[in-house]
Chain A
Amino acid sequence: MKKKWLMPLILMTTAVALYGCSSGNNGQGPVASQGGSNNSGSESPKPNVTLKYASWMSKGEDKPIIEAFMKANPHIKVEEEVIDGGQYSQMLQTRILSDDAPDVYLLPFNQYTQYATEGHLYDLSNEPGMQLMIDNPLVDQAFQINGKRFGFMVNAGTPVSPIYYNKKIFEKYNLDVPTNAEEFLAVNQTLKDNGVEPLVFGAKDAWTLSGTLYTAIFRSYALPKTDGDIFYALAKGDVKPSEVIDYPLQFIADLVKQGYVSEASSTLTYDQSVQYFADGKAAMLPQGTWVPTLDPIVNADSASFELGAFMPPVPRADGIIHAMSNGDRMLVVSANTKHPEEAKALFNFFVNPDNLKPYLEEQSLFTVLKGLDIQTAPVLQDYVNGFSADDVSVVIGSRSAVTPAFSKEVDISLQNILVGSSVEAELKRLDEEFGKTKDQMVVKE
């Protein structure tokens, strides 16, 4: 009697199990991906895969796009690793050395050429996600290495980072937005005379000093002296660092000497400097385009704070402002990934215009890619429009990049200037330090 029931029971169980594993998934097993990678109903279910994704986005900036990807591709789990921005290059390097590179990661532009040349990056030339860059030939050309494409320029560093100001303070002292260096210095002096700290940086995180006002002035000053490619000229030995860094360093040193830079700057972190500015303790903050979206700015007391932005006082050559836009965040795939198809799926999902556009807009990031139609934060509208003016010349990318070691030395020089070191001593030191790692600069002919 028992045996009579046993056979139908086994058959039923087998049938149910087979149905559960079929393409008609009812939520019990892995499902076909949607959007990220196509999978027809007749294909066998995809095995579960875990990808590692690394970036220096410490405030969860990448989380929405990663979560959306996982939702669209339930068989792919993405483990997000946030590495401190200050140590990102070193940490990434040690990971690659120990054969533990993340599958997909954001790469700072100055390491892109080196990593691609040394074979650490996956060739993404034929990926559909690359189309947006291909549609922008100038950008595409700038990021090709030996005719291949190894990364996508998620966002571009702004050609000239803005200086934010507190409109309420400017109104109180009847100040107009400065349009050149003389007016800028005059504004600083007025603020100082009235007991207001004019400028604040978060110089404990040195990039807040080197990546904003200094870079803007440096590029505008150095580009005309180097035929539009500073780093190539440096790599080739056509110019010494001291010949192109002298003016921007002197400009910052003068600001410090005149007492226009808040003394707190040297020990404030980036986050603290934004809070300092939002609290009305300083009138101006040189920073990136993402500032309008930051919590301290959004939540600032509207009675004493209103955000404004203007173009920094960069030097002109023959009436032209020379500027340069580099990749800021490059999205790449590791050449050693064990899951190339899934890693490419994440890459393509990330750079898909439908996903990339909100990603950039939510963070108020800048791009030079035409076709994305990014809505700029209202406070930056005039500033961004300024780049299409006739007197602004923007070059994209460079055929070389200074080493992270030299970038760090520039950071140190600026930090030293902030605490009173002389420009001469720093220029001498920078020339010496540049010589130590110059041979590591990768040049794209």
Chain B
Amino acid sequence: MMRYRRRLDLLYALLFVLPALTLFLTFKYYPLSMTMFYSLTNWDGFSRSYQFVGLDNFISVFSDSKVLGAFYNTVYFAIVSILLGTVIQLGLALILVNRIKGAKVFRTVLYMPAVISALIISMTWIAFFQYNGIINQTLKLVGLETLAHNWLAHPIITIHVLIVINIWQWAGYGMIIYITGLQAIPTEINEAAALDGATGWRKLRLITLPLIMPAVTINMFISITGSLRVFELPFVLTGGGPMNTTNTVTMSIYNTAFLSNQFGYASSIGLVFFLFIATITLIQLTVTRRLEVEY
């Protein structure tokens, strides 16, 4: 009777898992395994025939100046976005965690860009950053014409414009996570710290930061994976230009697959980049987890 019961439980468990498992196998693992398969071929993504090329595609990834350039752009974009973004998100959280007037409105307003599609955000910002867009027009209007630039077509400035937009879009999202972390700190710890005379930077560094480390872990993980996979922003705003300075790895994969008809090669770029992101996030999780403290 017991054995029958256990078998029935197992069957029920399997039945409950089956839908999720089917979805995962169909939409995650099957495409992933096909990508692995195609990365070993020279399939053009179009014809029915292809040849196995072994690891040739993977070797080419490391000597392709275009991919390396895109990799540099992506990493630069991610580092600056994450560093500056974290400072801004944390700063906003530290201000808006307090019971100040209008805090809830500010939180909502700051969070709103995170729920808008990156595509729509990009289209909106074009109107601002175009040469004859709102920013340059305003600068001209107030007599600061010398500050007007070709924001979206300048080899040095443009990548930073994208970084600024990216930080702006995700500032509210990260802020909410940090606020949650800050609110989870027991009041007695803060009170004890105040009694001991810990204030300002000292309190932030020694008390607050270690205690909100779980929030930092989550936020960093989301920021790293998100910014390394950036696509819509450069795709819509700059198309990867000027001079390929905003061409990212994901754009490179897309163009290699669907424009250059090198689907096999694009798959290998994707896999290498997947491994890179996995390694980075693994390191990040190990480091930030180690910094977490128990209370």
Contact = CB atoms under 8 A, between A and B. Distances in A.
A118 B47 contact: yes
A408 interface: yes
Nearest to A433: B66
Interface in A381-427: 403-405, 408, 412, 415-416, 418-421
Interface in A152-206: 204, 206
Interface string B147-167: 000111111000000000000
A421 B243 contact: yes
Contacts of B241: 412, 415-416, 419
Interface string B210-253: 00000000000000000000000000000111111000000000
B183 interface: no
Nearest to B148: A263
A416 B242 contact: yes
Contact of A267 (B130, B243, B258, B259): B130
Contacts of A263: 131, 150
B258 A264 contact: no
A421 B47 CA distance: 36
B46 A97 contact: yes
Interface string A246-279: 0000000000000000011011100000001000
B45 interface: yes
Given A89-B259, A267-B131, A419 B44 contact: no
B131 A440 contact: no
B46 A267 contact: no
A338 interface: no
Among B44, B130, B244, B259, find the residue whose CB has the most chain A CB atoms closer than 10 A.
B259
B255 interface: yes
Contacts of A415: 153, 239, 241-242
B261 interface: yes
B97 to A, nearest CB: 40
A58 interface: no
Interface string A206-217: 100000000000
A375 interface: no
A90 interface: yes
Contacts of A118: 46-47
Contacts of A93: 45-46, 258, 261
Contacts of A12: none
B239 A204 contact: yes
Contact of B132 (A204, A264, A405): A264
Mostly helix, strand, loop or mixed at chain B's interface? loop
B237 to A, nearest CB: 9
B38 to A, nearest CB: 12
Mostly helix, strand, loop or mixed at chain A's interface? helix
A437 interface: yes
Contact of B46 (A96, A405, A418): A96
Given A93-B45, A118-B46, A266 B259 contact: no
Nearest to B126: A267
B258 A90 contact: yes
B150 A266 contact: yes
A90 B259 contact: yes
A408 B45 contact: no
A94 interface: yes
A436 interface: yes
Interface string A77-100: 000000000000110011011000
A100 to B, nearest CB: 14
Contacts of A204: 239
B260 interface: yes
Interface string B125-158: 0100111110000000000000000111111000
A420 B255 CA distance: 24
B260 A437 contact: yes
Contacts of B131: 263-264, 266-268
Contacts of A408: 255, 259
Given A97-B46, A118-B47, A405 B260 contact: yes
Contact of A405 (B47, B130, B259): B259
B52 to A, nearest CB: 17
Among A90, A93, A267, A421, find the residue whose CB has the most chain B CB atoms closer than 10 A.
A267
Contact of A416 (B46, B132, B243): B243
A375 to B, nearest CB: 36
Contacts of B151: 267
Contacts of A266: 131, 150, 152-153, 242
A419 B243 contact: yes
Given A419-B154, A419-B155, A264 B130 contact: yes
Among B131, B154, B243, find the residue whose CB has the most chain A CB atoms closer than 10 A.
B243
A277 to B, nearest CB: 13
A403 B261 contact: yes
A96 B260 CA distance: 16
Contacts of A421: 242-243
Nearest to A416: B243
B258 A412 contact: no
B153 A404 contact: no
A201 B261 CA distance: 29
Nearest to A404: B259
Contacts of A268: 130-132
Nearest to A437: B260
A40 to B, nearest CB: 42
Nearest to A406: B260
A415 B245 CA distance: 12
A437 B261 contact: yes
B153 A418 contact: yes
Contacts of A440: 44, 261
B40 to A, nearest CB: 19
Nearest to B44: A440
A267 B130 CA distance: 6
A108 B161 CA distance: 34
A403 B155 CA distance: 27
A96 B47 CA distance: 10
A405 B261 contact: yes
Nearest to B130: A267
For the complex of A and B, 5 pairs with smallest distance between CB atoms: A266-B153, A90-B258, A405-B260, A264-B131, A419-B242
Given A89-B259, A267-B150, A416-B242, 15 more contacts: A93-B258, A97-B46, A118-B47, A264-B130, A266-B150, A266-B152, A267-B153, A415-B242, A418-B153, A419-B154, A419-B155, A419-B241, A419-B242, A421-B243, A440-B44
Interface of A: 89-90, 93-94, 96-97, 118, 204, 206, 263-264, 266-268, 276, 403-405, 408, 412, 415-416, 418-421, 436-437, 440
28 contacts: A89-B259, A90-B259, A93-B261, A94-B258, A97-B46, A118-B46, A118-B47, A206-B239, A264-B131, A266-B150, A266-B152, A266-B242, A267-B130, A267-B131, A267-B150, A267-B151, A267-B152, A405-B259, A405-B260, A415-B241, A415-B242, A416-B241, A419-B241, A420-B155, A421-B242, A436-B262, A437-B262, A440-B261
